[in-house]
């Protein structure tokens, strides 16, 4: 708790302005992507992607639709096969997967754009299912942690509800908790607020900001530029299947190096009509 | 209508009723098992077997049960295979029902969104876990109405068993009409026993349907 307070003081974060801080992460590399190539038949989606993510780092991936952002995340957790290169998590190659029994997926938490909770299970069951069945943990311990985590995102009162009874923002918060309870080394967020109303967007983003403060390693694909600016340690700009820019958020948002990035950022600005 | 006649016929119909229920439900159990296996084969697109299942479904869905039963009852003995009318009826109903059940269960499996598979996999579940814990319960909730409709249809189809001289309800009614000309009484009892057999299925089916769907859809 003292460490947390200290960190809050040093980082000088203010909740109202959505600022977190920089330089929280250690130098320990956790995820490495080397020369990754992904294609569907003749169509190349990702070309020669090289990326290194350090423990505790928050990486935001931005880019126009169809640039391969989502595919990149899906290649990392093995939902997509890759054609060339490799994805390495903590020194182990996880894609292409050599050891089929590898438990790497537990180490990578993923939250999707569309609500992906299990509709036939209650909120508590949704959260507890994987730790019980995949990690074979004890029920009491899992239940306690599930309730703690749900409480943290303000949803403890919903434990016995079904997903259909929740709003979009609430569902996404549960999805985040469901990923967290597996104690992943890295969290992937694939446009998790794209289908939400503005107020709900904020409630979900606040949860993610909270995670950044807990020094979680995260890869976030988003179209929320203000949020990206606030949370990112590094911004990756992806266009046409390759990394066009890889820089700190301040320089990316104020002085992008390439025309493509400038053009992309301009799509979020509006000129005054009157 | 002579109620004395009806009263005297009740034991005969009750016996036929039990036989009909027995062969009917055995056939349905067989059809369900068959449908489940075939639906899995189609869902997982298992090579060779998928093609075989498709041929089977089209063959049995597009021929009348009566023809199938004749084939087995009168055709198999030519090949030296002799089966009792009862077994013949159960297998025939099972094969016909299997083709219907296959399609009902398959459509349920395919109605589960792909994101469910992906989120389960990303939580580290194995394929069998994904199937058992995530896909199957949702697929069943979707399939229940179709499965209930199939069960009712198959129970009614048992009336064809009379053609291979299985002493079911239909056979008994036809027999009594032929022997004693008590047409009205026999037909009345026939209707009553079929309703006794099917009404509970229909009611329970509606309840099961509501229960299965409520969890997921809330209606």
Residue B116 and residue A115: Cα distance in Å, rounded? 9
CB contact under 8 Å between B118 and A108, yes or no, is no
Residue B21 and residue B28: Cα distance in Å, rounded? 10
pLDDT digits (tens, 9 = 90+) for A27-36: 788 999 999 9
By CA distance, what is B126's nearest residue in A?
A134
When mean pLDDT is compared over A164-168, B78-82, B165-169, the highest value belongs to A164-168
Distance, in angstroms, between B50 CA and closest chain A CA? Answer: 25
For residue A24, what pLDDT band results from cuts at 50, 70 and 90? low
For residue B166, what pLDDT band results from cuts at 50, 70 and 90? confident
* Interchain contact B128–A (C-beta under 8 A): no
pLDDT greater than 60 at residue A11? no
Whether domain A2-120+185-266 has CATH 3.40.50.300 = yes
pLDDT digits (tens, 9 = 90+) for B97-127: 999 999 999 999 999 999 999 999 999 998 8
* Cβ-nearest to B133 among A116, A133, A165: A133
pTM of the model: 0.81
Per CB-CB distance under 8 Å, the chain A contacts of B139 are none
By CA distance, what is A132's nearest residue in B?
B125
For residue A127, what pLDDT band results from cuts at 50, 70 and 90? very high
CB contact under 8 Å between B116 and A182, yes or no, is no
pLDDT digits (tens, 9 = 90+) for B185-206: 899 999 999 999 999 999 999 9
For residue B80, what pLDDT band results from cuts at 50, 70 and 90? confident
pLDDT greater than 80 at residue A18? no
Among left, alpha and beta (phi > 0; psi -120 to 50; other), residue A60 is beta
For chain A, how big is the Rg over CA atoms in Å? Answer: 19
CB contact under 8 Å between B218 and A106, yes or no, is no
User: How far from each other are the two terminal CA atoms of chain B, in whole angstroms?
Assistant: 46
Task: Give me the pLDDT at residue A5, please.
Answer: 43
Alpha helical stretches, state H, B44-72: 49-61, 65-70
pLDDT digits (tens, 9 = 90+) for B140-159: 888 999 999 999 999 999 99
Residue A210 and residue B97: Cα distance in Å, rounded? 55
Helix (H) or strand (E) segment spanning residue B118: helix B114-122
* Interchain contact B129–A (C-beta under 8 A): yes
In percent, how much of chain A has pLDDT > 90? 55
pLDDT greater than 50 at residue B132? yes
Residues A210/A15, Cβ–Cβ less than 8 Å: no
Q: Mention every residue, 6+ apart, whose C-beta is less than 8 A from residue A257.
A: A245, A247, A251
Distance, in angstroms, between A178 CA and closest chain B CA? Answer: 8
pLDDT greater than 70 at residue A162? yes
* Cβ-nearest to A162 among B116, B120, B215: B215
Per CB-CB distance under 8 Å, the chain B contacts of A118 are 116, 119-120, 133-134, 138
Residue B159 and residue B197: Cα distance in Å, rounded? 12
Number of helices (H) and strands (E) in chain B: give both, helices first. Answer: 9, 0
* Interchain contact B141–A (C-beta under 8 A): yes
Per CB-CB distance under 8 Å, the chain A contacts of B134 are 118
| Triad A56, A60, A61: Cα angle to 5° | 135
**CATH number for domain B3-217, candidates 3.40.50.2300, 2.60.200.30, 3.40.50.10470, 1.10.3720.10:** 1.10.3720.10
For chain A, what are the domain ranges?
2-120+185-266
pLDDT digits (tens, 9 = 90+) for B14-27: 999 999 999 999 99
Per CB-CB distance under 8 Å, the chain B contacts of A106 are 123-124
Distance, in angstroms, between B181 CA and closest chain A CA? Answer: 56
Distance, in angstroms, between A265 CA and closest chain B CA? Answer: 30
ipTM of the complex: 0.82
Helix (H) or strand (E) segment spanning residue A46: strand A43-54
When mean pLDDT is compared over A40-49, A247-256, B49-58, the highest value belongs to B49-58
Q: What is the mean pLDDT of chain A?
A: 86
Task: Give the phi and the psi of residue A70 in degrees, each rounded to 5.
Answer: -65, -40
When mean pLDDT is compared over A95-99, A104-108, B64-68, the highest value belongs to B64-68
Q: Is the peptide bond before A96 cis (omega within 30 degrees of 0)?
A: yes
**Best interface-test mutation with B: which of A75, A103, A116 has the largest number of B CBs within 10 A?**
A116
Residue A154 and residue A166: Cα distance in Å, rounded? 13
| Triad A111, A115, A117: Cα angle to 5° | 85
By CA distance, what is B118's nearest residue in A?
A79
For chain B, what are the domain ranges?
3-217
For residue A90, what pLDDT band results from cuts at 50, 70 and 90? confident
Residue A191 and residue A201: Cα distance in Å, rounded? 11
* Interchain contact B123–A (C-beta under 8 A): yes
Task: Give me the pLDDT at residue B204, please.
Answer: 93
**C-alpha distances in angstroms, B71 versus B66, B78, B96?**
9, 10, 13
Task: Give me the pLDDT at residue A155, please.
Answer: 95
* Cβ-nearest to B115 among A78, A114, A129: A114
Q: Mention every residue, 6+ apart, whose C-beta is less than 8 A from residue A55.
A: A25, A26, A28, A29, A30, A217
């Amino acid at each position: 708790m003292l460490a947390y307070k200290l960190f809050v003081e040093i980082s000088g974060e203010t909740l109202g302005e959505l600022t977190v801080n920089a330089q929280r992460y250690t130098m320990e590399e956790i995820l490495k992507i080397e020369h990754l190539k992904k294609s569907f038949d003749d169509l190349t989606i990702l070309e020669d992607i090289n990326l290194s993510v350090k423990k505790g780092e928050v990486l935001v991936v931005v880019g126009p639709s169809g640039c391969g952002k989502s595919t990149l995340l899906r290649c990392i957790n093995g939902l997509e096969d890759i054609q060339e290169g490799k994805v390495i998590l903590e020194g182990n190659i996880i894609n292409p997967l050599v050891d089929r029994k590898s438990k790497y997926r537990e180490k990578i938490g993923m939250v999707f754009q569309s609500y992906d909770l299990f509709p036939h299970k209650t909120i508590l069951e949704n959260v507890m299912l994987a730790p019980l069945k995949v990690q074979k943990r004890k029920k009491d311990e899992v239940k306690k942690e599930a309730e703690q985590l749900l409480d943290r995102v303000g949803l403890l009162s919903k434990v016995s509800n079904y997903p259909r009874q929740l709003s979009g923002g609430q569902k996404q918060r549960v999805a985040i908790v469901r990923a967290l309870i597996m104690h992943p080394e890295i969290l992937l967020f694939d446009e998790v607020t794209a289908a939400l109303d503005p107020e709900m967007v904020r409630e979900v983003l606040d949860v993610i900001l909270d995670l950044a403060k807990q020094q979680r390693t995260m890869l976030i694909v988003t179209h929320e530029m203000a949020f990206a600016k606030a949370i990112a340690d590094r911004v990756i700009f992806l266009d046409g299947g390759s990394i066009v820019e890889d820089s700190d958020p301040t320089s990316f948002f104020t002085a992008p190096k390439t025309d493509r990035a400038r053009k992309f950022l301009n799509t979020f600005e509006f000129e005054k009509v009157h | 209508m002579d109620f004395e006649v009806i009263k005297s016929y009740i034991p005969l119909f009750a016996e036929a009723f039990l036989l009909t229920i027995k062969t009917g439900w055995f056939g349905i159990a067989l059809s369900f098992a068959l449908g489940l296996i075939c639906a899995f084969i189609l869902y997982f697109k298992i090579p060779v077997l998928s093609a075989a299942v498709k041929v089977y479904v089209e063959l049995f869905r597009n021929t009348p049960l009566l023809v199938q039963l004749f084939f087995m009852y009168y055709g198999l003995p030519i090949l030296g295979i002799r089966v009792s009318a009862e077994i013949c009826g159960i297998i025939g109903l099972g094969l016909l029902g299997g083709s219907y059940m296959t399609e009902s269960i398959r459509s349920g499996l395919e109605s589960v969104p792909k994101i469910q598979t992906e989120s389960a996999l990303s939580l580290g579940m194995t394929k069998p876990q994904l199937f058992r814990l995530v896909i199957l319960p949702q697929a069943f909730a979707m399939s229940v109405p179709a499965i209930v409709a199939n069960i009712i249809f198959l129970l009614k189809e048992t009336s064809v068993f009379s053609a291979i001289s299985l002493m079911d309800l239909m056979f008994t009614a036809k027999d009594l009409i032929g022997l004693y000309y008590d047409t009205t009484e026999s037909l009345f009892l026939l209707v009553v026993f079929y309703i006794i057999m099917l009404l509970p299925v229909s009611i329970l089916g509606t309840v099961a349907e509501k229960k299965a769907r409520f969890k997921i859809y809330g209606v």
